[in-house]
Structure 1
């Protein structure tokens, strides 16, 4: 059964706008309407009833009733408006009252209650005035408990309007009848009073004022002279002109007022003036058309990354290394400014990742991206009371500025490996990355209660000494930003989300659209891991910083090749596994052969080695139990510091890790189960990232336990 349609009726004097084109009704037929194109009187078009019904429902039809009636056209031309609601509020009420007086008086005349004599009209006007005032009283009154109107108090009386005289009412009646009832014609012509075109100053003075005002964006633009300065120049030039006129026995010119010159300056093209006085970039940034920009509808569809130089001097505590520095170096190190790199999700405004570094660059940016796509439970542990920082996952598009490190292959390649698109808007177009730019302005709230701020500029800063007043250490700064972001920002109403909180927006949109799964740890290590070059593979596996990494696949590869020098990738936050490059586009995840290394950071392991070296210098070998206990102890010691400084970027470079591996050497050995050779089998290059099979089994136990030493 087909749905019913609406059948429309049009007057021949109407104007119809259909899909942006103007039509006049010509003829109505049973099947539809024949319409004439207004811009081409030789073109007619037939619209069926069904077609018109669909167009009306789609909002493609607009009608102007009686647009071609002469009286309507005259009324609109006289009022210089299309409808009463287009008039200023004061004139709307005037037109409405005049229409009421006219309409009610004509009703009274038709009922035989009044005539057009002065005496009768005065009585009618008094009656109509009472009705209007009563209606205004009722509109301003409120209802009591019994439902009756409670009139306003005497001091809250409604201001009544002066009623028209019989002469004024007759004039209004003539206008309304001449316009055939079009109330718009009752608009008064007060707006046309006065001469606003003819200047009161002579032509020579007007030309001089034009010349001075044009210099505001011309000769005076570079010096950014004020209107006050230009007005003084105008007075000085008129002083010279008047001296010449006085000598010629002519009338002297009066000096135009400052406000007259200001009004002429305000008539200048605002964009051109701003560009002349402050530069094209500032003019474009301030007055360019603002649109909503690229809109993201689902989480992780579009994320934005940028850096912000934290406007706070911090005291940097370099734990455990101060004894190697001079007093001057410590003094310089203690007070520095840091950069905050952050990634925001455009759809939900949640912060996916943030890192603090001493300088901007590829390392800081990659650390932030890795944090954005990884679970952030360790960061939330900075403050036990904070809610879980759940926001992570693979994003579809990353937007950044034109900074050279963002444009470098070292940064863009890992992003492309994540399967994400990289977008870099033109330089200077901060409005094309509005979400992250606005977040950094909001982030200043996190530093509102601490001393040592640098403020926006030297004028705002005044005599304040941010260096001498520095009070916040780097670990404290990390905790401040995590607490503020997770506890306050994510749970505060956001104007860009219609007062919804970012956390609630993430929950709502992820339920609706879902998010892509975060990359596996093996993938993250292959994408973001730091490369260490030139490591030799031998039957014990790959040695890195005193740890051996081995698996069946690696041994099979060695047995095929005979010998190999390979590159590896290391995640400095977890050295339980490494990725070994077996060939082009083939990375093998290889586990550490020493147990208890899960989630152990590289710096903790290096500190453990150093501690064992100091404590056991007299022992030639250490068994696995001693090493494991030492690692656990160092993990406990480092836990608090690691949590407090979790936001600080510590990503080493390839050169640093390669040098570290070559320099590290133990003067004693660890006891470790031996690993024997394994047979070749399987396709080693079946995938780009090969998950290792279980660790190589130890040979059967015997009375003489074989061992292999690690040096």
Structure 2
């Protein structure tokens, strides 16, 4: 019996058209490109190493390469301002930096978030006097963010313990706020003084610059170019005056003032000085008080959005329905521990929380996750669902419409719930190239579109289900939610997907002037495109479970799967400290990310067959195999892989429907699973099994040592060895890491 080839997840029939900007960098097959032209057929890219070389790719080719993880997209990489800032900012993903840097960044971010929160409420201004007066409340509010557990915490808060920041000055806080508003999360990571420079302009230059820039504040409404010219002329005149003073000083006259020549500021410095002027004061000086009031008065027009994924709103909602946790479909083969990890308690009624994300431009639902209580895991798994093609979810429930809305959003707006203000969540979003912002607390109107979606769900979807709940007892009347509950948890997830994909996306939407969300998405994606989804390796590092593991000569083991590579083996030979940081991604067990000497590398599983496998399928197979061959110490790899294939074939749709539920694969649960199911569980990793083969002449057999059977002939006859994903199937020399007890060495040891 041979191995069954891993079948990739089904994608939506309708593929997204991806958008690349003029200053973006697109890396295909390790080659750096810059977009040159585009039309309805595809893109033309120019290589950044050889500007005369251009290559064309159709939209279908780009879509296929994005889905297979062969394209890396770096938004605005060649933008001049971004290029300058990269000198001062980290060169790798923020989540991959050291734990000490994570700790410092979280400390500063908590204070900045508290300041911005109070600024939005009008309780503090960006002046040192105002910050000093509010510093006590800023520190207290910062404890809300600082006390949420994250990877870099030296001593995580427990229970009701609050961690309150102590060391911060008003001036330093204002500087960090300015840097954060300009460069985002990356500005919070100290780079050891990289890119710092001394100020060229002294107090005399700054004073003259500030006086002259105010020439802009006149009713004559001079242009910026005129102000720049005024500044240049002012510095020339002042330097000529100081030149005359130096001559008088040389003649013996005592003047009592500085005669040092002034450094003329650059055009960029003048522009920055102009931007520091109060906008309302500028409008009063240039246009008068009445016009200034009109220009700065709040209006109710709302957001001006044009592109898909320009803004995504994400929030949590307690689903107004009671679901009996009956066993059906996949639940019948789950263990009690696995049901508990999904929030399932047999025989009990349950309320569910839905974490959802909506594209504000097209009103399409781009992600949904069900959980018994919101958490960091629900937020990060919803974010992961946003960037992925959701065809597998739609196919699992038999939806008639595509659910192909995927890509990298430009901005995600959330509320101030603990799941969204979690530091690891925010760092993960930043590493994926997504700006994430928490709106003011207690003001849902700043997330009006997602709030409206939940209202629509409550009225048009939940209202049709038995077992629904109500907001108060007056509305509820004599309705008994528990007695009328008939929808299982699995059926609830199926109904949600069917309603979103086949009903909501196809129904005319008032906010789109009667257009359906599906048509709006297809129309705008055809016009503007969307940024492609992040590569698998980046998702693993940004969203994966943060673990620590000890490296042995067998490599690294997570949930009974062994990971090894030549790079890891070399590192093991030359380092005494064997503990390393690991990122483990439950959606793909084919590799893990490991930090070695400050750099993150991908370490593959010793079995290629784990590529694309989910953790839930693996654990189901482990439990089934252990029950059938309990007395066997080593389990043949074929038995394991065939069990996984059988589970997928029998329960493919049921397993896919389960993906709507938030999986608990925290480091604590991984440790529990390893202790409960995987102690003494070992997959037989012997590359080649002793076999007997029919003789080439059809009479008798050939012994494995007989020279008449060559290795290529043996592979061709044996369906297991001939399979492309067999562990020992590789060109060249045998893989030393397939057998941990094999003798191997390196030539340059």
The TM-score, its normalising length taken from structure 2, stands at 0.50
What is aligned with 1:600? 613
Residue aligned with 1:387, SS? coil
SS in 2 for 1:510: helix
In 1, Cα distance between equivalents of 2:562 and 2:678? 14
C-alpha distance in structure 2 between counterparts of 1:674 and 1:572, whole Å: 26
Matched, 1:550 2:559: no
What residue in structure 2 maps to residue 623 of structure 1? 636
Deviations 1:14-64 (A, max 9, x none): xxxxxxxxxxxxxxxxxxxxxxxxxxxxxxx9xxxxxxxxxxxxxxxxxxx
Secondary structure of the structure 2 residue equivalent to 1:433: helix
Say which SS state the counterpart of residue 534 (structure 2) adopts.
coil
Report Cα offsets for 1:202-240 as digits up to 9, x if no partner.
xxxxxxxxxxxxxxxxxxxxxxxxxxxxxxxxxxxxxxx
SS of residue paired to 2:484:
coil
Equivalence map 1:136-535=2 (5 Å): 291-317=300-326, 319=331, 320-321=334-335, 334-444=348-458, 445-533=460-548, 535=549
Q: Distance in 2 between matches of 1:707 and 1:471?
A: 52
SS state at 1:532 partner: strand
Secondary structure at the aligned position of 1:296 is classed as: coil
| Equivalent in 640, 647, 661 of residue 634 of structure 1 | 647
**Partner residue of 2:710?**
none
1:162-189, CA deviations, whole angstroms, 9 ceiling, x for partnerless residues?
A: xxxxxxxxxxxxxxxxxxxxxxxxxxxx
Distance 1:558 1:423 in 2: 41
Shift of 1:700: 5.6
With over 3 angstroms needed to count, the CA separation of the structure-2 counterparts of 1:468 and 1:296, relative to structure 1, is same
- The answer as to whether partners of 2:317 and 2:355 remain within 8 angstroms in 1 is yes
Whole-angstrom distance in 2 between the partners of 1:654 and 1:517: 30
Q: Which runs of 5 or more structure 1 residues have no equivalent in the other structure? A: 1-44, 46-287, 676-693
Tell me how far 1:666 sits from its aligned partner.
Answer: 4.6
Per-residue CA deviation, residues 49-108 of structure 1 (Å, 9 max, x unaligned), is xxxxxxxxxxxxxxxxxxxxxxxxxxxxxxxxxxxxxxxxxxxxxxxxxxxxxxxxxxxx
What SS does the corresponding residue of 1:641 show, helix, strand or coil?
helix
Hey, what's the Cα distance between the residues in 2 that align with 1:547 and 1:706? 12
- Give me the whole-angstrom Cα distance separating, in 2, the residues matched to 1:561 and 1:698: 30
Alpha-carbon spacing, 1:591–1:289, altered in 2? closer, same or farther (3 Å): same
CA offsets, 1:276-319, max 9 Å, x none?
xxxxxxxxxxxx98713232211111110111111100112463
Q: Distance in 2 between matches of 1:579 and 1:452?
A: 45
1:660 corresponds in structure 2 to: 673
SS at match of 2:643: helix
CA 1:528–1:666 in 2, change beyond 3 Å: closer, same or farther?
Answer: same
Contact in 2 for aligned 1:572/1:651 (Cα 8 Å): no
Q: Which has the higher contact order (CA 8 A, sep 6+)?
A: 2
Q: Given the alignment, which residue of 611, 635, 655 partners 2:624?
A: 611
387 and 666 in structure 1: CA distance in 2 versus 1, 3 angstrom threshold: same
Partners of 2:339 and 2:506 in 1: how far apart? 43
Equivalent-residue separation in structure 2 for 1:668 and 1:646 (angstroms):
26
Q: Which moved more, 1:308-317 or 1:636-645?
A: 636-645
User: 2:595: which partner in 1?
Assistant: 581
RMSD: 3.3
Larger radius of gyration: 1
Where do 4+ consecutive residues of structure 1 move more than 6 Å?
A: 323-326, 329-332
- Structure 2 residues without counterparts, runs of 5 or longer: 1-219, 221-296, 689-726, 743-749
Distance (whole Å) between structure 1 residues aligned to residue 505 and residue 338 of structure 2: 41
Question: How big is the shift at 1:552?
Answer: 2.8
